[in-house]
Chains A and B, each alone.
Chain A
Amino acid sequence: MPEGVKGGGRGLPYGPSRDGALPFYDADIPPPSCWSVFVSFLRIGVLTFGGGVAMLTVLWHELGVRRDWIAERDFVDNTALATSVPGPIAVNMAFLEGYHLRGGRGAAAAALGVILPSFVVILLIAALLLRFFDHPRVEGFFRGAGAAVVGLVAYAAVKLGKVILRGWREIIAWVAAGGVVLATGVHPVAAVVISVLLCGALSRLGRRVGQDGGKGVRRAAS
Protein backbone atom coordinates (compact mmCIF):
# COMPACT_ATOMS: atom_id res chain seq x y z
CA MET A 1 0.00 0.00 0.00
CA PRO A 2 1.54 3.29 -0.98
CA GLU A 3 1.68 5.44 2.09
CA GLY A 4 -0.28 8.56 1.32
CA VAL A 5 0.25 11.94 2.82
CA LYS A 6 -2.12 11.84 5.74
CA GLY A 7 -4.90 14.34 5.80
CA GLY A 8 -4.92 14.54 2.04
CA GLY A 9 -2.72 17.60 2.08
CA ARG A 10 0.24 18.48 -0.06
CA GLY A 11 3.41 16.73 0.86
CA LEU A 12 6.68 18.48 0.28
CA PRO A 13 8.76 16.82 -2.42
CA TYR A 14 11.64 15.99 -0.12
CA GLY A 15 13.49 13.45 -2.15
CA PRO A 16 13.44 10.61 -4.65
CA SER A 17 13.09 7.94 -1.99
CA ARG A 18 9.57 9.28 -1.47
CA ASP A 19 6.58 7.32 -2.72
CA GLY A 20 5.72 9.31 -5.78
CA ALA A 21 7.52 12.15 -7.43
CA LEU A 22 5.53 15.10 -6.21
CA PRO A 23 2.83 16.18 -3.80
CA PHE A 24 -0.37 14.36 -4.34
CA TYR A 25 -3.81 14.28 -2.87
CA ASP A 26 -5.34 11.32 -1.14
CA ALA A 27 -8.90 11.36 -2.40
CA ASP A 28 -10.26 9.27 0.46
CA ILE A 29 -9.55 11.76 3.19
CA PRO A 30 -10.76 15.31 2.64
CA PRO A 31 -8.05 17.84 3.53
CA PRO A 32 -8.71 19.96 6.61
CA SER A 33 -10.11 23.39 5.84
CA CYS A 34 -7.90 26.45 6.21
CA TRP A 35 -10.10 27.56 9.06
CA SER A 36 -9.55 24.33 11.00
CA VAL A 37 -5.81 24.57 10.35
CA PHE A 38 -5.90 28.12 11.75
CA VAL A 39 -7.91 27.08 14.82
CA SER A 40 -5.58 24.14 15.49
CA PHE A 41 -2.52 26.35 15.43
CA LEU A 42 -4.28 28.98 17.53
CA ARG A 43 -4.84 26.27 20.14
CA ILE A 44 -1.21 25.22 19.90
CA GLY A 45 -0.08 28.84 20.16
CA VAL A 46 -2.22 29.52 23.22
CA LEU A 47 -1.29 26.31 25.00
CA THR A 48 2.46 26.12 24.56
CA PHE A 49 4.79 27.53 27.18
CA GLY A 50 8.53 27.47 26.84
CA GLY A 51 9.19 28.25 23.19
CA GLY A 52 9.55 26.40 19.93
CA VAL A 53 11.28 23.19 20.94
CA ALA A 54 8.70 22.46 23.65
CA MET A 55 6.10 23.21 20.99
CA LEU A 56 7.33 20.23 18.94
CA THR A 57 5.88 17.83 21.50
CA VAL A 58 2.57 19.69 21.60
CA LEU A 59 2.47 19.95 17.79
CA TRP A 60 2.96 16.22 17.37
CA HIS A 61 0.24 15.48 19.90
CA GLU A 62 -2.23 17.89 18.28
CA LEU A 63 -1.55 17.04 14.63
CA GLY A 64 -0.29 13.48 14.71
CA VAL A 65 -2.10 11.89 17.66
CA ARG A 66 -5.26 13.90 18.21
CA ARG A 67 -6.14 14.75 14.59
CA ASP A 68 -4.19 12.13 12.64
CA TRP A 69 -3.29 14.75 10.05
CA ILE A 70 0.34 13.90 9.53
CA ALA A 71 2.52 10.78 9.48
CA GLU A 72 5.46 10.55 11.86
CA ARG A 73 7.93 10.37 8.97
CA ASP A 74 6.71 13.64 7.48
CA PHE A 75 6.69 15.28 10.90
CA VAL A 76 10.34 14.36 11.45
CA ASP A 77 11.26 15.65 7.97
CA ASN A 78 9.49 18.95 8.63
CA THR A 79 11.18 19.25 12.03
CA ALA A 80 14.59 18.74 10.45
CA LEU A 81 13.91 21.42 7.86
CA ALA A 82 12.39 23.90 10.33
CA THR A 83 15.29 23.56 12.77
CA SER A 84 18.17 23.64 10.32
CA VAL A 85 17.31 27.05 8.82
CA PRO A 86 17.22 30.46 10.58
CA GLY A 87 14.09 31.74 12.27
CA PRO A 88 12.10 30.80 15.38
CA ILE A 89 11.43 27.04 15.20
CA ALA A 90 7.75 27.46 16.07
CA VAL A 91 7.12 29.85 13.17
CA ASN A 92 9.09 27.73 10.69
CA MET A 93 7.34 24.60 11.87
CA ALA A 94 3.87 26.16 11.67
CA PHE A 95 4.57 27.31 8.12
CA LEU A 96 5.74 23.85 7.00
CA GLU A 97 2.93 21.94 8.70
CA GLY A 98 0.35 24.37 7.36
CA TYR A 99 1.81 24.01 3.89
CA HIS A 100 1.83 20.28 4.24
CA LEU A 101 -1.86 20.26 5.17
CA ARG A 102 -3.29 22.89 2.88
CA GLY A 103 -0.65 24.43 0.62
CA GLY A 104 0.24 28.13 0.65
CA ARG A 105 -2.97 29.29 2.28
CA GLY A 106 -2.59 26.65 4.98
CA ALA A 107 0.92 27.91 5.65
CA ALA A 108 -0.36 31.46 6.10
CA ALA A 109 -3.20 30.29 8.35
CA ALA A 110 -0.90 28.20 10.53
CA ALA A 111 1.76 30.90 10.88
CA LEU A 112 -0.84 33.50 11.79
CA GLY A 113 -2.43 31.08 14.25
CA VAL A 114 0.82 30.48 16.07
CA ILE A 115 1.94 34.15 16.17
CA LEU A 116 -1.35 35.81 17.09
CA PRO A 117 -1.82 34.39 20.63
CA SER A 118 1.75 35.25 21.50
CA PHE A 119 1.25 38.85 20.36
CA VAL A 120 -2.10 39.35 22.09
CA VAL A 121 -1.12 37.70 25.37
CA ILE A 122 2.12 39.66 25.66
CA LEU A 123 0.34 42.93 24.90
CA LEU A 124 -2.25 42.23 27.59
CA ILE A 125 0.43 41.35 30.10
CA ALA A 126 2.67 44.28 29.27
CA ALA A 127 -0.23 46.71 29.41
CA LEU A 128 -2.21 45.39 32.35
CA LEU A 129 -0.97 42.36 34.19
CA LEU A 130 2.72 42.87 34.81
CA ARG A 131 2.37 43.11 38.59
CA PHE A 132 0.43 39.86 38.72
CA PHE A 133 3.56 37.93 37.78
CA ASP A 134 5.33 38.90 41.01
CA HIS A 135 2.82 37.03 43.13
CA PRO A 136 4.60 34.08 44.84
CA ARG A 137 1.84 31.63 43.89
CA VAL A 138 2.11 32.62 40.24
CA GLU A 139 5.88 32.30 40.44
CA GLY A 140 5.48 28.84 41.96
CA PHE A 141 3.17 27.82 39.13
CA PHE A 142 5.62 28.92 36.49
CA ARG A 143 8.55 27.22 38.20
CA GLY A 144 6.66 23.94 38.23
CA ALA A 145 5.43 24.39 34.67
CA GLY A 146 8.89 25.46 33.49
CA ALA A 147 10.47 22.33 34.92
CA ALA A 148 7.81 20.20 33.21
CA VAL A 149 8.65 21.94 29.93
CA VAL A 150 12.18 20.54 30.23
CA GLY A 151 10.54 17.11 30.27
CA LEU A 152 8.60 18.01 27.12
CA VAL A 153 11.75 19.04 25.30
CA ALA A 154 13.50 15.86 26.44
CA TYR A 155 10.55 13.87 25.13
CA ALA A 156 10.87 15.54 21.73
CA ALA A 157 14.56 14.60 21.73
CA VAL A 158 13.84 10.97 22.64
CA LYS A 159 11.09 10.68 20.04
CA LEU A 160 13.21 12.17 17.26
CA GLY A 161 16.21 10.15 18.37
CA LYS A 162 14.31 6.89 17.92
CA VAL A 163 13.59 7.80 14.30
CA ILE A 164 16.88 9.48 13.40
CA LEU A 165 19.55 7.38 15.12
CA ARG A 166 19.14 4.24 13.03
CA GLY A 167 22.76 3.41 12.31
CA TRP A 168 26.29 4.04 13.48
CA ARG A 169 26.80 6.90 11.00
CA GLU A 170 23.94 8.88 12.46
CA ILE A 171 25.08 8.21 16.02
CA ILE A 172 28.64 9.37 15.24
CA ALA A 173 27.35 12.52 13.54
CA TRP A 174 24.96 13.27 16.42
CA VAL A 175 27.65 12.92 19.12
CA ALA A 176 30.23 14.86 17.10
CA ALA A 177 27.86 17.72 16.23
CA GLY A 178 26.55 18.08 19.77
CA GLY A 179 29.98 17.65 21.33
CA VAL A 180 31.66 20.32 19.21
CA VAL A 181 28.97 22.92 19.84
CA LEU A 182 28.85 22.15 23.57
CA ALA A 183 32.64 22.13 24.00
CA THR A 184 33.58 25.14 21.90
CA GLY A 185 30.46 27.29 22.14
CA VAL A 186 30.49 28.04 18.40
CA HIS A 187 27.29 29.09 16.66
CA PRO A 188 24.80 26.19 16.68
CA VAL A 189 24.62 26.22 12.90
CA ALA A 190 27.96 24.37 13.17
CA ALA A 191 26.06 21.32 14.44
CA VAL A 192 24.12 21.05 11.19
CA VAL A 193 27.19 21.69 9.04
CA ILE A 194 29.25 19.09 10.90
CA SER A 195 26.41 16.60 10.62
CA VAL A 196 26.09 17.06 6.85
CA LEU A 197 29.85 16.85 6.23
CA LEU A 198 30.34 13.87 8.50
CA CYS A 199 27.37 11.91 7.16
CA GLY A 200 28.51 12.66 3.62
CA ALA A 201 32.05 11.47 4.32
CA LEU A 202 30.90 8.40 6.23
CA SER A 203 28.43 7.30 3.59
CA ARG A 204 31.07 7.68 0.87
CA LEU A 205 33.44 5.64 3.02
CA GLY A 206 30.69 3.09 3.63
CA ARG A 207 30.03 2.76 -0.08
CA ARG A 208 33.71 2.15 -0.81
CA VAL A 209 34.00 -0.48 1.93
CA GLY A 210 30.77 -1.98 0.64
CA GLN A 211 32.13 -2.30 -2.90
CA ASP A 212 35.19 -4.16 -1.64
CA GLY A 213 33.41 -6.43 0.75
CA GLY A 214 30.36 -7.06 -1.40
CA LYS A 215 28.04 -5.58 1.17
CA GLY A 216 27.26 -2.55 -0.90
CA VAL A 217 23.49 -2.69 -0.70
CA ARG A 218 22.41 -0.59 2.19
CA ARG A 219 18.89 -0.57 3.43
CA ALA A 220 17.23 2.23 1.50
CA ALA A 221 17.27 5.04 4.00
CA SER A 222 14.26 7.29 4.01
Chain B
Amino acid sequence: MQLLELLVSFLIIGVGAYGGGTVTIPLIEREIVVRHGWLDGEGFAEVVALAQMTPGPIAVNAATFTGYRVAGVTGAAVATVGVVTPSLVIMCCLVFLLHQTRGGEWAGRLRRWVKPGVLALITLAVWSISRAAIVSWHGWVIAAASLGILLLLEGKVHPVVVVIGFGLVGIFLF
Protein backbone atom coordinates (compact mmCIF):
# COMPACT_ATOMS: atom_id res chain seq x y z
CA MET B 1 0.00 0.00 0.00
CA GLN B 2 2.84 2.29 0.91
CA LEU B 3 4.54 1.41 -2.36
CA LEU B 4 1.43 2.45 -4.26
CA GLU B 5 1.32 5.77 -2.42
CA LEU B 6 4.99 6.26 -3.18
CA LEU B 7 4.36 5.58 -6.86
CA VAL B 8 1.42 8.00 -7.04
CA SER B 9 3.32 10.73 -5.19
CA PHE B 10 6.26 10.53 -7.53
CA LEU B 11 4.06 10.37 -10.60
CA ILE B 12 2.64 13.70 -9.43
CA ILE B 13 6.15 15.06 -8.87
CA GLY B 14 7.18 13.81 -12.32
CA VAL B 15 4.35 15.72 -13.95
CA GLY B 16 4.98 18.84 -11.87
CA ALA B 17 8.76 18.98 -12.35
CA TYR B 18 9.08 21.97 -14.62
CA GLY B 19 11.56 24.62 -15.51
CA GLY B 20 14.70 23.14 -13.97
CA GLY B 21 14.50 22.63 -10.25
CA THR B 22 12.68 25.85 -9.43
CA VAL B 23 9.29 24.28 -8.79
CA THR B 24 10.45 20.71 -8.33
CA ILE B 25 11.89 21.04 -4.84
CA PRO B 26 8.90 22.80 -3.20
CA LEU B 27 6.66 20.27 -4.92
CA ILE B 28 8.64 17.33 -3.53
CA GLU B 29 8.50 18.95 -0.10
CA ARG B 30 4.73 19.28 -0.27
CA GLU B 31 4.25 15.66 -1.26
CA ILE B 32 6.79 14.02 1.01
CA VAL B 33 6.97 16.19 4.12
CA VAL B 34 3.57 17.86 4.31
CA ARG B 35 1.19 15.33 2.79
CA HIS B 36 2.73 12.01 3.75
CA GLY B 37 5.22 12.85 6.49
CA TRP B 38 7.73 10.35 5.09
CA LEU B 39 10.56 12.71 6.02
CA ASP B 40 10.78 15.55 8.52
CA GLY B 41 12.15 18.99 7.67
CA GLU B 42 15.70 18.03 8.53
CA GLY B 43 15.57 14.80 6.53
CA PHE B 44 14.22 16.74 3.59
CA ALA B 45 17.02 19.31 3.78
CA GLU B 46 19.44 16.38 3.67
CA VAL B 47 17.73 14.98 0.56
CA VAL B 48 17.89 18.33 -1.23
CA ALA B 49 21.55 18.85 -0.38
CA LEU B 50 22.43 15.32 -1.50
CA ALA B 51 20.33 15.52 -4.66
CA GLN B 52 22.23 18.62 -5.71
CA MET B 53 25.64 17.20 -4.86
CA THR B 54 25.28 13.87 -6.58
CA PRO B 55 25.28 13.32 -10.32
CA GLY B 56 22.02 13.22 -12.21
CA PRO B 57 18.70 15.04 -12.42
CA ILE B 58 17.63 16.46 -9.04
CA ALA B 59 14.09 15.06 -9.22
CA VAL B 60 15.38 11.55 -9.94
CA ASN B 61 17.94 11.77 -7.12
CA ALA B 62 15.33 12.95 -4.65
CA ALA B 63 13.00 10.14 -5.74
CA THR B 64 15.59 7.41 -5.28
CA PHE B 65 16.69 8.74 -1.91
CA THR B 66 13.20 9.24 -0.48
CA GLY B 67 12.03 5.89 -1.84
CA TYR B 68 14.95 4.17 -0.16
CA ARG B 69 14.22 5.88 3.15
CA VAL B 70 10.58 4.86 3.02
CA ALA B 71 10.74 1.31 1.71
CA GLY B 72 14.30 0.22 0.98
CA VAL B 73 15.59 -0.74 -2.46
CA THR B 74 12.10 -1.63 -3.74
CA GLY B 75 10.87 1.78 -2.64
CA ALA B 76 13.77 3.46 -4.40
CA ALA B 77 12.95 1.61 -7.63
CA VAL B 78 9.23 2.39 -7.39
CA ALA B 79 9.79 6.10 -6.73
CA THR B 80 12.33 6.41 -9.54
CA VAL B 81 10.04 4.70 -12.04
CA GLY B 82 7.25 7.00 -10.88
CA VAL B 83 9.20 10.20 -11.37
CA VAL B 84 10.42 9.39 -14.91
CA THR B 85 7.26 7.76 -16.30
CA PRO B 86 5.28 10.97 -17.00
CA SER B 87 8.30 12.45 -18.73
CA LEU B 88 8.75 9.41 -20.99
CA VAL B 89 5.04 9.17 -21.80
CA ILE B 90 4.82 12.88 -22.65
CA MET B 91 7.90 12.64 -24.86
CA CYS B 92 6.52 9.62 -26.72
CA CYS B 93 3.27 11.49 -27.37
CA LEU B 94 5.13 14.60 -28.54
CA VAL B 95 7.33 12.71 -30.97
CA PHE B 96 4.30 10.83 -32.30
CA LEU B 97 2.40 14.09 -32.67
CA LEU B 98 5.28 15.75 -34.51
CA HIS B 99 5.42 12.87 -36.96
CA GLN B 100 1.65 12.80 -37.39
CA THR B 101 1.41 16.47 -38.24
CA ARG B 102 4.52 16.16 -40.41
CA GLY B 103 5.80 19.38 -38.91
CA GLY B 104 2.90 21.54 -40.06
CA GLU B 105 2.88 25.31 -40.17
CA TRP B 106 1.67 25.71 -36.58
CA ALA B 107 4.40 23.43 -35.23
CA GLY B 108 7.06 25.59 -36.85
CA ARG B 109 5.60 28.77 -35.41
CA LEU B 110 5.12 27.29 -31.96
CA ARG B 111 8.70 26.07 -32.01
CA ARG B 112 9.91 29.61 -32.65
CA TRP B 113 7.58 31.20 -30.16
CA VAL B 114 8.34 29.05 -27.13
CA LYS B 115 12.07 29.72 -27.36
CA PRO B 116 12.22 33.14 -25.63
CA GLY B 117 10.13 31.67 -22.78
CA VAL B 118 12.44 28.69 -22.48
CA LEU B 119 15.42 31.04 -22.41
CA ALA B 120 13.67 33.01 -19.64
CA LEU B 121 13.27 29.78 -17.62
CA ILE B 122 16.94 28.94 -18.01
CA THR B 123 17.96 32.48 -17.12
CA LEU B 124 15.82 32.25 -13.98
CA ALA B 125 17.41 28.89 -13.21
CA VAL B 126 20.80 30.64 -12.98
CA TRP B 127 19.28 32.76 -10.22
CA SER B 128 17.51 29.97 -8.33
CA ILE B 129 20.48 27.59 -8.49
CA SER B 130 22.87 30.32 -7.35
CA ARG B 131 20.71 30.98 -4.30
CA ALA B 132 21.06 27.35 -3.25
CA ALA B 133 24.68 26.80 -4.27
CA ILE B 134 26.45 30.05 -3.40
CA VAL B 135 26.97 30.86 0.26
CA SER B 136 29.69 33.52 0.24
CA TRP B 137 31.40 35.95 -2.12
CA HIS B 138 34.00 33.28 -2.94
CA GLY B 139 31.18 31.39 -4.56
CA TRP B 140 30.34 34.29 -6.87
CA VAL B 141 34.00 34.58 -7.88
CA ILE B 142 34.07 30.85 -8.70
CA ALA B 143 30.81 31.07 -10.67
CA ALA B 144 32.08 34.05 -12.67
CA ALA B 145 35.42 32.37 -13.27
CA SER B 146 33.79 29.16 -14.45
CA LEU B 147 31.54 31.09 -16.87
CA GLY B 148 34.56 33.06 -18.08
CA ILE B 149 36.63 29.94 -18.70
CA LEU B 150 33.82 28.25 -20.62
CA LEU B 151 33.24 31.32 -22.80
CA LEU B 152 36.91 32.01 -23.48
CA LEU B 153 37.93 28.42 -24.18
CA GLU B 154 34.74 27.74 -26.18
CA GLY B 155 34.57 23.98 -26.56
CA LYS B 156 38.23 23.33 -25.75
CA VAL B 157 37.70 22.50 -22.10
CA HIS B 158 35.26 19.91 -20.83
CA PRO B 159 32.68 21.53 -18.51
CA VAL B 160 33.06 18.62 -16.07
CA VAL B 161 36.76 19.41 -15.74
CA VAL B 162 35.84 22.98 -14.77
CA VAL B 163 33.40 21.74 -12.10
CA ILE B 164 35.86 19.24 -10.60
CA GLY B 165 38.67 21.80 -10.76
CA PHE B 166 36.71 24.34 -8.77
CA GLY B 167 35.65 21.56 -6.40
CA LEU B 168 39.32 20.98 -5.62
CA VAL B 169 39.77 24.73 -5.13
CA GLY B 170 36.80 24.58 -2.76
CA ILE B 171 38.54 22.02 -0.53
CA PHE B 172 41.13 24.62 0.38
CA LEU B 173 38.84 27.62 0.27
CA PHE B 174 35.83 26.61 2.35
**Cβ-defined contact, B166 with A144, below 8 A:** yes
Report Cα–Cα, A65/B143, bound state, in Å: 22
Chain B residue with Cβ nearest A171 = B116
What does the 1/0 interface line of A125-148 toward B look like (CB < 8 Å)? 111000001000101111111111
> Which 6 residue pairs are nearest across A and B when measured between Cβ atoms?
A144-B170, A15-B108, A118-B56, A151-B146, A195-B117, A87-B87
B34 an interface residue at 8 Å Cβ cutoff? no
- Is A121 in the interface zone, CB < 8 Å from B? yes
Which of B80, B123, B142 sits near A119, CB closer than 8 Å? Answer: B80
A10 to chain B, nearest CB (A): 10
B120 touches A123 (CB 8 A): no
Tell me, yes or no, whether B7 is within 8 Å of chain A by CB.
Answer: no
Interface string of B43-74 (1 = CB under 8 A from A): 00000011111111111110011001100010
Does A39 belong to the interface (CB within 8 Å)?
no
Q: Return the chain B residue nearest A22 by Cβ.
A: B102
Number of A-B residue pairs, CB cutoff 8 Å, is 383
* Residues of chain A contacted by B124 (CB below 8 angstroms): 178, 181-182, 188, 191
- Stretch of A29-37, A154-162, A206-214 on the interface side: A154-162
Q: Is the CB of A47 within 8 A of B160?
A: yes
Distance A85 CA – B122 CA, assembled complex (angstroms): 14
**With A83-B121, A87-B17, A199-B113 known to touch, is A155 a contact of B155 (CB < 8 Å)?**
no
Contact B88 A111 (CB under 8 A): yes
Q: What is the number of residues of chain B that contact chain A, defined by CB distance less than 8 Å?
A: 105
Residues of A near B148 (CB, < 8 A) are 151
Taking a contact as CB atoms under 8 Å apart, the answer to whether A88 and B14 are in contact is yes
Interface residues of A (CB under 8 A from B): 12-18, 21-22, 45-58, 61, 65-66, 76-77, 79-81, 83-92, 95-96, 99, 107, 111, 114-115, 117-119, 121-123, 125-127, 133, 137, 139-158, 160-161, 164-165, 170-171, 173-175, 177-178, 181-182, 187-189, 191-196, 198-200, 203, 221
Contact indicator per residue, chain B 161-174, by CB within 8 Å of chain A (1) or not (0): 01111111111111
B76 contacts across to A, CB distance below 8 A: 119, 122-123, 126
> From DSSP, what is the main secondary structure of chain B's interface residues?
helix
User: B145 and A151: CB pair below 8 A?
Assistant: yes
Asked if B170 and A81 make an inter-chain contact with CB atoms under 8 angstroms apart, the answer reads: no
Tell yes or no: B151 within 8 A of A by CB. Answer: yes
Residues of B within 8 A of A (CB): 14-24, 49-61, 64-65, 68-69, 73, 76-77, 80, 83-84, 86-88, 90-91, 94-95, 98-99, 101-105, 107-127, 129-130, 132-135, 138-140, 142-151, 155, 158-160, 162-174
- A77-B111, A196-B114 as given contacts; A122 in contact with B57, CB under 8 Å: no
Pick from B15, B19, B84, B174: contact of A191, CB under 8 Å: B19
CB of A14 within 8 A of CB of B115, answer no
Q: Given A151-B146, A164-B115, A199-B113 in contact, is the A83-B122 Cβ separation under 8 Å?
A: yes
26 residue pairs A–B, Cβ–Cβ below 8 Å: A13-B107, A48-B56, A49-B53, A51-B57, A51-B58, A84-B118, A87-B87, A88-B24, A91-B84, A95-B87, A118-B55, A118-B56, A122-B56, A133-B53, A143-B173, A144-B142, A145-B163, A145-B167, A147-B146, A149-B129, A152-B159, A153-B122, A177-B117, A188-B19, A188-B121, A221-B112
In the assembled complex, which residues on chain A have CB atoms less than 8 Å from the CB atom of B159? 57-58, 61, 152, 155
> What is the distance, in angstroms, from A72's C-beta to the closest C-beta of chain B?
11
Whether the Cβ atoms of B59 and A15 lie closer than 8 Å is: no
Q: Which residues of B contact A193 (CB under 8 A)?
A: 117
Q: Min CB distance, A80 to chain B, in Å?
A: 5
Further 6 A-B residue pairs, CB within 8 A, beyond A151-B143, A178-B124, A195-B115:
A15-B103, A52-B58, A115-B84, A141-B171, A148-B163, A157-B125
